[in-house]
Structure formats: C-alpha cells, structure tokens
Amino acid sequence: MKKSQLIAGNWKMNGSLAANEALVRAVVAGLAGGGAACRVAVCVPSPYLAQVRSLCEGSALELGAQDVSRHGQGAYTGEVSAAMLEEFGVRYAIVGHSERRQYHGESDSVVADKARAALAHGITPIVCVGETLAEREAGQTASVVRRQLAAVIDAVGDGLARIVVAYEPVWAIGTGRTATPEQAQQVHAALRAQLRAATAQADGVAILYGGSMNAANAASLLAQPDIDGGLIGGASLKAPDFLQIIAAAH
C-alpha cells in the first residue's frame, strides 16, 4: 500500500532563533487547523535542532537534519553523528544533497555510507539524486541518477525499504526553473523501476521531487503517479507558501 505523501522543507543555511520561532509556529498552527493529509517535516541547521524540536512538540510536524556523518564517533571535527541526531528526536536526515556533492566533494560512496549510518539509528535518510544541466543536455540523466541510487542500494541492504529518495535536478534548484511534471515523472518512474529490481517493497519507498517547487506548481507535480512528495527549499521558508504546498499533497 502507498503511504501518504511527504512534504519536507530544507531550510539550508537560513534561519535565526527569532525567524525559526515565527516560521514553525505558523506552520504548526496551519497544520492544526487543516489536518494535513500528508506527512510534513522540516530539515533545519544543526544548532537549531533543539529549538525546533521543542516548537514541534505535540504537533504533526517532524524534525529533520540536513546532513549526517558517515562515522560513528571520534576525531571528526565539525561532524554530527547519527546517534547525536537521534538524541534530538530527528526522524529524517538529508544525504547527498547536490550542494554537498558540489561544495564538499561528497562522492556516491560517501553518500551511501551516510544513508547507512542514518538507518543504523532509526533515522530515515532522504537520499538526493539529480543531474546537472550539462549532464541532461548530454542525455545522461538516467545514467547519472541510476549510478547515484545504485551506490545507496548496494550499501543499505534490507534498509532499502526505509529510505526516502529525492530527485532534485541540479538545474532546477534555486533557479525558479522547475522540471515539468512529465520530465520529473519520467525520472521518478526510472528510479521506481530501479528500486523494484532491488526490493519487493519499492512501491512503499517515497520518491520526492525537489527543485523550485512552489505553491503554484506543487499540485501538478504531486499528481504524478511516481511523485510521492516534495523536498522544498526557498518556499519552505515562507509559512503560507509551505502550507499551500502541503495542502496540495495527499
């Protein structure tokens, strides 16, 4: 059976104690009033996990992190482990976001290790895959996302049924240029087929779309058969926009 869709906000490196409080209070109030049909999470910068955890308490809003170390503990300055995230009630951790692949040199195998580390602590990794514009124009979209997902499939074993995948075409992130519903569905269907070849539970694995999803285009993307939710950057920082996207999900 298909689960309800998942709408996850990725705040990236944005926020402040004051701004977070206003944003989360508004989202929680909106969820309480409308009774969202979907699951909803916000992935916040690590220093704010404790703050946002307490603001979410008693609400349907779940907590996520934007990254996790592939190591368990030790001399890894600046890293945050899955065990630490678990202590703060974190349910989701984004791994392999294109900004981490691009600016921090994260390889497919590092991303796969991170997914495995999250799963070992009961945290759902949101595994990001996606092609650059050059790769799309060279006809490499399918092979790039297949390679990125294959590394995770190989690493997580039985944990595969517990991951979330996010297709985020790099050319659509923060650019206002969204993949059309047809373009996104085509890639999502290929990812689904890849998951089906690896697990009998592939239909229960949520495949989110991310990349300039907003209040205006969410409904048509979320109506596609293999789009199971969204990973929202800029629009998740504005409560009315985020709530409108949530309202478009089922």
- Active-site residue numbers? 97, 168
Residues 84, 111: Cα–Cα separation, whole Å: 18
CB of 200 to ligand 13P, least distance (A): 29
Nearest residue to 51 (alpha-carbon basis) of 3, 96, 83, 19:
19
Q: Which is nearer to ligand 13P, 231 or 249 (CB)?
A: 231
Backbone φ and ψ of 10, nearest 5°: -115, 105
Is there binding between residue 123 and ligand 13P (CB under 6 A)?
no
Backbone φ and ψ of 40, nearest 5°: -135, 135
Is there binding between residue 95 and ligand 13P (CB under 6 A)?
no
Is there binding between residue 174 and ligand 13P (CB under 6 A)?
yes
Half-sphere exposure of 147 (CA within 13 A, CB side): 11
Name the amino acid, one letter, at 60: A
Q: Which is nearer to ligand 13P, 99 or 226 (CB)?
A: 99
Is there binding between residue 34 and ligand 13P (CB under 6 A)?
no
x/- track of binding to ligand 13P for residues 43-82 (CB under 6 A) = ----------------------------------------
Name the amino acid, one letter, at 187: V
Is there binding between residue 168 and ligand 13P (CB under 6 A)?
yes
Q: Which is nearer to ligand 13P, 131 or 168 (CB)?
A: 168
The DSSP annotation for 126-137 comes to EEEE---HHHHH
Is there binding between residue 170 and ligand 13P (CB under 6 A)?
no
Strand-pair partners of 63: 42
User: Which span sits near ligand 13P by CB under 6 A: 107-115, 155-163, 198-206, 230-238?
Assistant: 230-238
When binding is defined by CB under 6 A, the residue of 179, 234, 241, 248 that contacts ligand 13P is: 234
Q: Dihedral angle at the C-alpha atoms of 136, 149, 229, 124, nearest 10 degrees?
A: -150
Q: Which is nearer to ligand 13P, 92 or 198 (CB)?
A: 92
SS3 label, residue 154: helix
CB of 145 to ligand 13P, least distance (A): 15
Q: Which is nearer to ligand 13P, 66 or 199 (CB)?
A: 66
Backbone φ and ψ of 43, nearest 5°: -105, 110
Residues 171, 134: Cα–Cα separation, whole Å: 9
Chain contacts with ligand 13P (rule: CB under 6 A): 10, 97, 168, 173-174, 210-213, 231-235
